[in-house]
Structure 1
Amino acid sequence: MKQQFTFPKKLIATAVIASMAVLSGCNDDDDDTSEVVVDPTFGGIRVIHASPDAPAVNILVNGDAAVTELDYAESSGFASLEVGSYDIAVEGIIPGGNAEVINVDGFAIDEDAMTTVIAVGAVADIEPLVVAASEAMPDASQVSLVVTHAAPMAPAVDIFLTAPNDDITNMSPAFNFAFKDSIDVGAVAAGEVRIRAAVDGSVVFDSGTVDLSGFAGQKLQVTAIAAENQVESDASPVKLLVANDTDAVEIRDASTSAGARVVHASPDAAAAAGGAVEVWATSAALGDMPAELIASFDYTDKFPEMGNYAGVPGGDYVFDVSPDGAGVGGSVFTSGTVTLEAGMEYSVIATGRVTSSPAFTLLPTGDSNRAIATQASVKVVHGAPAAGDVDVFVTAAGDFSVVEVESQAAGDPLLDEFTFGSITDYVAVTPGSYDIRVVAGGMVAINLEGVQLDGGSVSTVIARGPSEPAAGELTDFGVIVLSN
């Protein structure tokens, strides 16, 4: 698979800190005053976030925020600083207040030096790794590379940098390096290359064909970092972050798939279909022929049953839902196009009603499953059509009773008038024990007490209704919880 990259256009808060010394002097003529402007000299500094379980960070220069919300596998781009000495701090963004995780006093910025500071290691022992730019000056047909091993759990590896179709069986590696090592590879042709990493002769990372022509004439920092979710780690324990002066892109193992999981939360689908349903997927990635994704699927079921995600080729998909055994020709629902990107993970929630409103639909949501040691991450989905608009309260375990929540003594809800089909962003909470209540019509419809949310956990909480049609009042509300 050929990978060709252009840098995405996104906003990154990068400080450019500069000062000019202006000197005023007088000549013999008191009326003739001139200014002498002294141009300072500059160097550059860039920060790369490579700590796999650390939160997003702020970068402070002499106590002032220079880069904000730099997340894992991101580069700040270079900031220009006047030659001198600076205090550099890295501040982790955590629930309830930020915490300084790295502090380097008296960091020297030298003239014309382009220095990269990489935050490496797990959050418990995070540290700065200072890497100089390549000494090689690439011409218009070359790129120069510095390669750094920043994946703390990965062993020392042999690196092969070759033409795309080269057989490395009897080839000597370009170099071997271990965690925190950096190698100045020098200038190489800015064309199609293939990067492979091997341990004891077994390839553990294969980039496939990568086209470097878009980087011609540039100096690149290539950082091997840890995979951050199941589908990435299923292909390889590492990926590459390629940074130029302003931005960065990721190169995953060429075999990396997309991850998909599906949840059945439609309360009347079984009644309408006469039992379980089956789910079909059609995509060019599957040869444009419908493939049965789920053979028999009933209310509150999750697919896959074992493991978090099923690996599927990245691409555009159309899903069909049929009564069990009817085949794709018996489809009673066809989705719009759902794009599943390689290396990303997605939950697809079947909800709504087949026989009435709100209508049956599929709710796809992208999942961010990186475990962050300093927080629990929670996403909430309203998938209970019988509930209408609801309020969602998340409070420390034991702080408020159900009666206090219903009487509004528990303060404002986390989610106010949360409508059916809505999906929140992830909410970062301090690890601990929580009571989660969903209030519909002034009454607590879902009551979860003492829910333990551990540091590093990532949860998707789906509010569901009772199976329909139901005798009597609809009181059997509940949740389906998905975790990383």
Structure 2
Amino acid sequence: MKNRKLTLLALTALLAMALSATGCSDDDDDNGMMTGPSIGDGAMLRVVHASPDAGSVDVYAEGISTPLLSNVPYTATGPYLELDPGTYNIQLRAAGASATSTPAFETGDIVVPADAKITAVASGFLTSSNPEDAFRVLLFVESFNDPGTGNAAVRIVHGAADAPAVAIDVGNDGSPEIASLDRFAETGADGVALPAGTPLAIGIWQADPLTKVTSFTTPALPEGEIFLIATGKLSELPRDEDGFGLLAVGPTGTIGLIKQDPSLLILHASPDAPAVDVKVGGTDIELVGDVSFGELSPVIQVSPAMYSLDVVVSQGGSLVSTVETPDLMAGERYLVIASGFGSDPLKEFQILPLQEMFGETMNPLVRVVHASPDAPAVDVGVYDGTTFIPVDPFSDLGFGESSDGVGTSLNPGGLTIGVTGTGTITPIVASFDLNLTTGLKAFAVASGSLTERGEEFRLILVDATMFPWQAVEVLPN
């Protein structure tokens, strides 16, 4: 695929293809749902499952023994059900549970007027008893205004149960149009008219104090009436199925769950390069500025795509190198290591992009990265001051290579590691003292120069346990 610059036009085709890759389903995918009996006509109601911890559910109307909908999974939207105007108690049970079992949740009496068209959004945490974030069903009577030709009428719902009140920045230009939207609130029955047929950038900010949280790039929205529902858990990884995302629901069902834009953190690990800025290739759009050796940049979020990046010297702006990223995927986080020598064509400046893939365990997880441009292939192992024992996943790593992306599980506590040339146990090139804490997830980046060409050889430990990540230098013993 040809590399793309940061332009809206170039993203359109990519985002359309990315729907399946980012966990989106199309309108015709019913996810195994089954529709039950008709219960009349004169009004319409559908159910959107937007509760990340509820599991698949069966939907009942009290007094009717057959489910109206069966096996509705998270992010699915049921078809509009026709029913008589009247009063209903909608009940939810775990998928497959007996119709006579106690419901997991029931709405209590809700009045469905004649000619009403209602979207019912299941939201909140089913496992919570806290009224601030507990499970509920949000009822939205549909009465969208006509947005005009070429537009979508978008109704935004804040259904993310662990997120605070948010500000919404349509266009992601730093100026939120919606100053504060409380949890479980929405933007109004009329809908907001937004351009259809083109991707849309959306920034999400914490409302008070105003602080950027994340951003999204929608697929090209169809014309018509759209619900855009913030759902999932802000506390989970963006790549996770229950991570914070935007659920797009159109007239015929779920359009897709839109994951957060990819996040990049750039680590300067080039021994002889001065402080640098990183710009979108061929432009003056600066992504990050004045990053020195050993420093980790602030979080950068970009739309999913491949990019050309210009790395320039902060003082004076001379070009160090133009580098290409891989395809950056929605929902993912990347450590981008800038290494090589700025002045040696044999070990020229380059980037080493690493997708964060750490597994789930309470033992410390470490991924070793060889980013020292003049060091040979190495083995990394346990060293007690006398004996070196290689750790197999950390062995035979050449420049630009790394160990398994899910990390290698190590015991918590103090640990001295040694570095040797591949296949040897002596001499020890360097040793480092580490303190590995329970739950740690870290990149151990071997960086600097062995031959004193700029910054000396060392480890840079990038702690990815919490976000944003932190970097600390570990000098050799």
TM-score normalized with structure 1 length? 0.52
Correspondences of 1:392-471 after superposition (within 5 Å): 392=380, 406=389, 413-423=392-402, 425-427=405-407, 432-433=412-413, 435=415, 438=419, 440-443=422-425, 445=429, 447-455=431-439, 458-464=441-447, 466-468=449-451
User: Using the alignment, how far apart are the partners of 1:79 and 1:85 within structure 2?
Assistant: 15
Post-superposition shift, 1:462?
A: 0.7
User: Using the alignment, how far apart are the partners of 1:382 and 1:366 within structure 2?
Assistant: 12
Deviation sequence 1:58-105 (CA, Å, 0-9, x none): 95779xxx999xxxxxx744489x99732699xxxxxxxxxxxxxx98
Aligned counterpart, 2:42: none
Code of the residue aligned with 1:10 in structure 2: it is S
Correspondences of 1:199-210 after superposition (within 5 Å): none
Is 1:334 aligned to 2:321, yes or no?
Answer: yes
Code of the residue aligned with 2:221 in structure 1: it is G
Post-superposition shift, 1:432?
A: 3.6
Residues 280 and 45 of structure 1: is their aligned pair in 2 closer, same or farther, counting only changes over 3 Å?
closer
Gaps of 5+ in 1: 21-37, 50-56, 69-74, 90-103, 230-238, 270-275, 395-399, 471-475
Residues 340 and 226 of structure 1: is their aligned pair in 2 closer, same or farther, counting only changes over 3 Å?
farther
Percent identity of the aligned residues? 11
Correspondent of 2:257 among 231, 248, 255: 248
Aligned counterpart, 1:319: 311
Residues 316 and 404 of structure 1: is their aligned pair in 2 closer, same or farther, counting only changes over 3 Å?
same
Q: Quick check: 1:381–1:422 contact (8 Å CA) kept in 2?
A: yes
Is 1:263 aligned to 2:268, yes or no?
Answer: yes
User: Using the alignment, how far apart are the partners of 1:208 and 1:87 within structure 2?
Assistant: 33
Residues 149 and 263 of structure 1: is their aligned pair in 2 closer, same or farther, counting only changes over 3 Å?
same
Is 1:9 aligned to 2:16, yes or no?
Answer: no
Cα RMSD of the aligned pairs, angstroms, is: 6.5
Residues 108 and 379 of structure 1: is their aligned pair in 2 closer, same or farther, counting only changes over 3 Å?
same
Tell me the SS of whatever aligns to 2:141.
Answer: coil
Tell me the SS of whatever aligns to 2:140.
Answer: coil
Post-superposition shift, 1:292?
A: 11
User: Using the alignment, how far apart are the partners of 1:158 and 1:312 within structure 2?
Assistant: 17
Correspondent of 1:347 among 318, 331, 336: 336
Aligned counterpart, 1:186: 189
Q: Which structure shows the bigger proportion of residues in strand conformation?
A: 1
Code of the residue aligned with 1:186 in structure 2: it is A
Post-superposition shift, 1:129?
A: 3.3
Residues 279 and 86 of structure 1: is their aligned pair in 2 closer, same or farther, counting only changes over 3 Å?
closer
Aligned counterpart, 2:141: 135
Deviation sequence 1:369-389 (CA, Å, 0-9, x none): 99x996866443211345544
Q: Quick check: 1:151–1:225 contact (8 Å CA) kept in 2?
A: yes
Correspondent of 2:229 among 222, 230, 250: 222
Q: Quick check: 1:190–1:215 contact (8 Å CA) kept in 2?
A: no
Deviation sequence 1:341-367 (CA, Å, 0-9, x none): 89976533213695585x233224266
Residues 44 and 178 of structure 1: is their aligned pair in 2 closer, same or farther, counting only changes over 3 Å?
closer
Residues 283 and 13 of structure 1: is their aligned pair in 2 closer, same or farther, counting only changes over 3 Å?
closer
Post-superposition shift, 1:9?
A: 1.9
Code of the residue aligned with 1:191 in structure 2: it is L
Code of the residue aligned with 2:461 in structure 1: it is V
User: Using the alignment, how far apart are the partners of 2:290 and 2:57 within structure 1?
Assistant: 53
Deviation sequence 1:264-321 (CA, Å, 0-9, x none): 344xx4xxxxxx6454655468538x999549x6xxx3246xxx42879987422256
Tell me the SS of whatever aligns to 1:247.
Answer: strand
Code of the residue aligned with 2:321 in structure 1: it is T
Aligned counterpart, 2:351: 363
Tell me the SS of whatever aligns to 2:20.
Answer: coil
User: Using the alignment, how far apart are the partners of 2:345 and 2:220 within structure 1?
Assistant: 55
